[in-house]
Amino acid sequence: MFKACTNPDIDDGAASPSNKQQNPHTMSPDSHNSSSSSSQVNSILGQMKDMVLHQSKRTMLKTDILFLEREIKSRKQKFGVDVYELMETLTLEDSNDAKEVEEQISQAFDQAKRDVWLAQEKILVKRRELMNMDGVVVGGGDHQGGMHHQSIDEEEDYGYET
């Protein structure tokens, strides 16, 4: 129905890029910065990814510490139940029974003490790992290499009882 306009002075926007010649001095500023801006975006995305990974590792360590602390509490409670049951069987009339029960209580305590110690050691390892992730220096803040190293007393609770 309509004939295309053949007037060369009117640009209908359908001209192919090969037919148009651009003066390099009149090119848009975006064409010069496109590779620079994409590398900046990639850099920012990489930093965000690293931050998310770092935070997820911190969260996992803190969760592990909480589970280990719960395990210690549970183990101590089990020890109390075990000792109570042993003491219930104790009869005051038979001194041989008393010595046997005393030995069993001692063994139960030694086992509970080992179990609690192992869990505490695991907690200590996880807390050290957490502090290393955050650049914590024991004994106070420190500025080394232009980077601030957080001390245990600053801002973050690593679960140490004071």
pLDDT at 93: 61
Whole-angstrom Cα distance, residue 99 to residue 13? 102
In this structure, of 25-39, 44-58, 65-79, 94-108, the range with the lowest mean pLDDT score is: 25-39
Whole-angstrom Cα distance, residue 68 to residue 130? 15
Query: Is the predicted pLDDT of residue 150 greater than 70, yes or no?
Result: no
Query: Is the predicted pLDDT of residue 136 greater than 80, yes or no?
Result: no
Amino acid at 131: M
pLDDT at 153: 36
Asked if residue 136 lies in contact with residue 159, where contact means CB atoms within 8 angstroms, the answer is: no
Whole-angstrom Cα distance, residue 34 to residue 12? 27
- Tokens, residue 105: 């209580």
**Portion of the chain with pLDDT greater than 90, in percent:** 46
pLDDT at 134: 81
pLDDT at 140: 42
Query: Could you report the per-residue pLDDT of 81-117, keeping only the tens digit for each?
Result: 999 998 888 766 666 778 888 899 999 999 999 999 9
Q: What is the mean pLDDT of the chain?
A: 75
pLDDT at 99: 85
State the residue for tokens 């129905």.
1
